[in-house]
Amino acid sequence: MPNEKRKTFVAREDLLLQLNEIAKRSGRSLYETINDILEQSIYANEVGVSMRDAIDNSHLLRNAKEKGMVLGLENIWREMAELSYSVSKEDALAAWSEAGKWFAKRYMIEGKSDTFSALKHDLESFVWNVPEFTINQKEREVVVRAICPNFSEAYSCLLLAFLTSCLGTLGFDVMEKEASRGSLRLKAILR
């Protein structure tokens, strides 16, 4: 474009070489690729998001989708959980427990060297609206805690069943567990 002014800037050579490869694979010039990156960075800044956060959030959503999750309204999700629990507590707990087994098995099938750390990372990432959700591991012991004023007793029990099943599938024996309105706690030991 003849009327565009250009400005030279300095960048690390290794980054420019990688960007040049990306540009070639996408059938674009290095100039187009760098300008696109700069435009996206400016746009992200204008909407109040850092590029790193935008990329991390995109990865989180793709990872959740690959793990079989769907986005939905939280109030409907909680109401459906409440309804299923009130209709048949045993069936609801069994369904959440089965979902926990299925969820954890995916990590085992992926063949990662540390399945527990991968599961822990994703659970901590996927549990969005829980003000306090921690999974702490010391050697063979794991303690999971969740505190959320929006948790009903039923929802706490269902989530506890899910987490208990996840850990059991990865080879942990539950030593202590409790669930009440607004909180849950689980302690397990690796077999």
What CATH number is attached to the domain comprising 109? 3.30.1380.20
Residue 158 pLDDT: 97
pLDDT at residue 149 tops 60: yes
Provide long-range contacts, Cβ within 8 A and 24+ apart, for 107-116: 107/170, 108/169, 108/170, 115/170, 116/142, 116/170
| pLDDT above 90 as % of the chain | 66
Confidence of residue 174 (pLDDT cuts 50, 70, 90): very high
Same domain, yes or no: 100 and 150: yes
pLDDT at residue 185 tops 90: yes
The number of folded domains in the chain is 2
Q: Is residue 136 part of a domain?
A: yes
- Mind listing the pLDDT tens digit for each residue in 95-144? 999 999 999 998 888 877 889 999 998 898 888 789 999 999 999 999 99
The mean pLDDT value for 69-79 works out to 86
Same domain, yes or no: 106 and 39: no
- Mind listing the pLDDT tens digit for each residue in 28-70? 999 999 999 999 999 989 999 898 888 888 888 888 888 888 8
Same domain, yes or no: 102 and 186: yes
Same domain, yes or no: 97 and 179: yes
Q: Is residue 46 part of a domain?
A: yes
Confidence of residue 1 (pLDDT cuts 50, 70, 90): low
10 Å CB burial of residue 63 (0-12, 13-18, 19+) is middle
The two counts, helices (H) then strands (E), for the chain are 7, 4
Residue 128 pLDDT: 76
Same domain, yes or no: 50 and 87: no
Residue 2 pLDDT: 55
Q: Is residue 26 part of a domain?
A: yes
Residue 9 pLDDT: 83
10 Å CB burial of residue 46 (0-12, 13-18, 19+) is exposed
Same domain, yes or no: 132 and 168: yes
pLDDT at residue 161 tops 60: yes
Q: How far is CA 52 from each of CA 58, 91, 129, 187, rounded to the nearest angstrom?
A: 10, 42, 21, 34
- The reported pTM is 0.78
Full residue range of the structural domain in which residue 92 is found: 70-190
Contact 154, 85 (CB under 8 A): yes
The mean pLDDT value for 79-86 works out to 94
